[in-house]
Structure 1
């Protein structure tokens, strides 16, 4: 190959290279699934986004049901290496336990949300013992009632910590619901205040004095009226 294959072309080439089978020679080969149709499907093509090693591992898991000749296997190995090299930029670096120390509880993040996010992060870091996971999560929690509880009696494992967290999750969510509902006393005080303002407005309207209207003599009135006004 003189040119690097595209994502789909490389994926198809790997699929077809592995799809080389020899006639079954024993019941064991038949039991392994020799002759099963493992031709590439559209959803088997590499999309150019995820980790290429994951894609290759998934394909090899399917191709393992086939017997491949030495020559075909050698060609497949070469093509696999070219595939991994071409898409090396998409390869994810393995995460270690130190990564979990960065998964801290955010400000305003509920305990339920944090527990779920930390649990998902744990799945990305294999081979970390339960005791260390519990210690890391305890360190990453924000200060609060749950943090104080596990500080007094540290859990031995992450599973134990999660069981204890469930109780505080329920308390936290119940408190949030109560805080969102106005208390009876607050409602009564607001009603009383509105009634008081309404009564004061009505009193003010009843005590408003009538307007002082000045009467003027019309210019076309008789002379006697003009004289009477002048004498006043």
Structure 2
């Protein structure tokens, strides 16, 4: 008696059979991390996915299945070209994903690049903090002492800088907290200056004097006096 194998034919996929056999949780939500198009930093996408999957408490193999759903069209084509059964755990997926898209990684600056940031002569403390933080976020493994030192050296010779010299903060978070007081003062002074400028402009407008027109004629010179007509005398 000949028996036929009625089991469905296995589709070639980079996932191992163990990954495919791990069922999805009964109640799960699609991860709102966006699609990876293949043109941005892969580490940023992985970090968002890891945080979202941690909240869902996905198992390691379920993470493989869910991470695949976050790949855009170009990244999906890359995935299909991976060797069959090569991804047995999420660590495998993580490794090949970073390796393939490594050229899109954001350039990480060195801690010493923070010392090149200077507060412009007309820049506010708030603007300087924003610019400093934008650079600091791309500097890995920096210490709070280095952040405080680089930030202080980049400040103008203002009241905030003098306050930091008199009483150096113990960490960067305290420095930012103390900056709030000086930001409030700086912005209040700017608002007062603006109000004063508007007040002076309004006063001048309200007390404006009507313009005086010069006399008509060339170069403003009055016309010569009119000559009386002389009549002939009778003889």
1:112 aligned residue (105, 126, 142): 126
C-alpha distance in 2, partners of 1:136/1:130? 10
C-alpha distance in 1, partners of 2:168/2:32? 51
Structure 2 regions of 5+ residues with no counterpart?
Answer: 1-12, 65-83, 216-220
Q: Which has the higher mean CA deviation after the structures are superposed, 114-123 or 156-165? A: 114-123
Aligned to 2:186: 172
2:21 aligned residue (14, 20, 23): 23
The structure that is helix-richer by fraction is 1
Aligned to 1:8: none
Is 1:93 matched up with 2:107?
yes
1:49 aligned residue (15, 21, 39): 39
The Cα of 1:174 is off from its aligned counterpart by 0.9
C-alpha distance in 2, partners of 1:99/1:143? 21
C-alpha distance in 1, partners of 2:63/2:204? 81
C-alpha distance in 2, partners of 1:215/1:193? 46
Is 1:182 matched up with 2:172?
no
Instruction: Select the structure of larger CA radius of gyration.
Output: 1
The Cα of 1:168 is off from its aligned counterpart by 0.8
Aligned to 2:62: 66
Q: Across the two proteins, how many residue pairs are aligned to each other?
A: 191
SS in 2 for 1:71: coil
The Cα of 1:155 is off from its aligned counterpart by 1.4
Structure 1 regions of 5+ residues with no counterpart?
Answer: 1-15, 25-29, 218-224
Aligned to 1:212: 225
C-alpha distance in 1, partners of 2:63/2:150? 46
C-alpha distance in 1, partners of 2:108/2:100? 19
Report Cα offsets for 1:139-161 as digits up to 9, x if no partner: 11111111111112211211221
C-alpha distance in 2, partners of 1:191/1:58? 57
Task: Give RMSD over aligned pairs.
Answer: 4.8
Q: Check whether the contact 1:34–1:67 (CA below 8 A) recurs between aligned residues.
A: no
Q: Check whether the contact 1:17–1:75 (CA below 8 A) recurs between aligned residues.
A: no
Q: Check whether the contact 2:15–2:85 (CA below 8 A) recurs between aligned residues.
A: no
